[in-house]
A and B are shown apart, each in its own frame.
Chain A
Amino acid sequence: NAGVMQNPRHLVRRRGQEARLRCSPMKGHSHVYWYRQLPEEGLKFMVYLQKENIIDESGMPKERFSAEFPKEGPSILRIQQVVRGDSAAYFCASSPGQGSWETQYFGPGTRLLVL
């Protein structure tokens, strides 16, 4: 039973380019969460999605960031026109989506470096 998968593991972009981060949840999980982690800091919630729905995007920056979780395929976190401040580790987590208080299981993360 594969865990949460994220790719790429490392991504280098130049300022102004687009970054696409992918997350495949654990088998049987229908809820996906994205977090950002800066060096020496904790995880900051960005967005919570179910299939084809954004449930909570209160942690997403208002501009340049978007997320989706289509009916088929992985969840995508998209960052347009990246800036150096976007450099961070981005983690995806998933949960079954069967009730409250569900443990979230994390993927290995994508480390984004903006040059």
Chain B
Amino acid sequence: GESVGLHLPTLSVQEGDNSIINCAYSNSASDYFIWYKQESGKGPQFIIDIRSNMDKRQGQRVTVLLNKTVKHLSLQIAATQPGDSAVYFCAETTGNQFYFGTGTSLTVIP
């Protein structure tokens, strides 16, 4: 079956620095990807998505990069703030069922 994994389970960054969270996926047929943010005790919150016909998409302070050749996805957060501290999941799908990675825990150091 599909597997979505993250390279680093934890990441600590200084406030104001940029953060990069990586994700590897195994299903080359996946054509839609989403990054979610989950704060402690809450449900996942949509951050940004990207379709397989794109390799980059930007939002407010966030950028998602997709490299289909190596099946790699990354989330870049600019000027990381304490409120960005959370677990970040990538999710992939070929249709309606999403497959989630284990997540990366981001800690922002003031």
Known pairs A42-B100, A45-B98; A101 contacts B43 (CB<8 A):
no
B contacts with A: majority SS: strand
* Interface: A115 (CB within 8 A): no
Q: How far is the CB of B93 from chain A (nearest CB, A)?
A: 7
Residue A48, interface by CB 8 Å: yes
A25 at the interface (CB under 8 A from B): no
Quick one: closest A residue to B32, CB to CB?
A101
Q: Considering only CB atoms, which chain B residue lies closest to A108 in the complex? A: B43
- Docked CA distance A35–B36 (Å): 14
Contact A100 B100 (CB under 8 A): no
Given contacts A41-B102, A45-B99, A48-B96, contact A101 B42 (CB under 8 A): no
Which residues of B are found within 8 Å of A42, using beta-carbon distances? 4, 89, 100-103
In the complex, chain B residues whose CB is within 8 Å of the CB of A58 = 97
- On whether the beta carbons of A43 and B97 are closer than 8 Å, the reply is no
Tally of chain A residues near chain B (CB < 8 A) = 28
A sample of 14 inter-chain contacts (CB < 8 A) reads: A6-B43, A41-B102, A42-B101, A42-B102, A43-B89, A44-B100, A56-B96, A100-B95, A101-B31, A101-B51, A102-B96, A103-B34, A105-B46, A106-B43
A93: chain B residues within 8 A (beta carbon): 44
Q: Sort A-B residue pairs by CB-CB distance and give the 6 closest, nearest first.
A: A106-B43, A42-B100, A43-B100, A101-B32, A42-B102, A106-B44
Give the docked Cα–Cα distance between A4 and B43 (Å): 10
In the complex, are the beta carbons of B96 and A91 less than 8 A apart? no
| A41-B102, A103-B34 as given contacts; A109 in contact with B96, CB under 8 Å | no
Closest Cβ–Cβ distance, residue A46 to chain B (whole Å): 10
CB atoms of A101 and B93 under 8 A apart? yes
Taking CB atoms, residues of chain B closer than 8 Å to A12 are none
CB distance from B70 to the nearest CB of A (A): 21
Is A55 in the interface zone, CB < 8 Å from B? yes
Within the complex, the shortest CB–CB distance from B98 to chain A, in Å, comes to 7
For A22, the chain B residues whose CB sits under 8 A away are none
Q: Is the CB of A109 within 8 A of B97?
A: no
- Write out the residue numbers on chain A whose beta carbons fall within 8 Å of the beta carbon of B95: 100
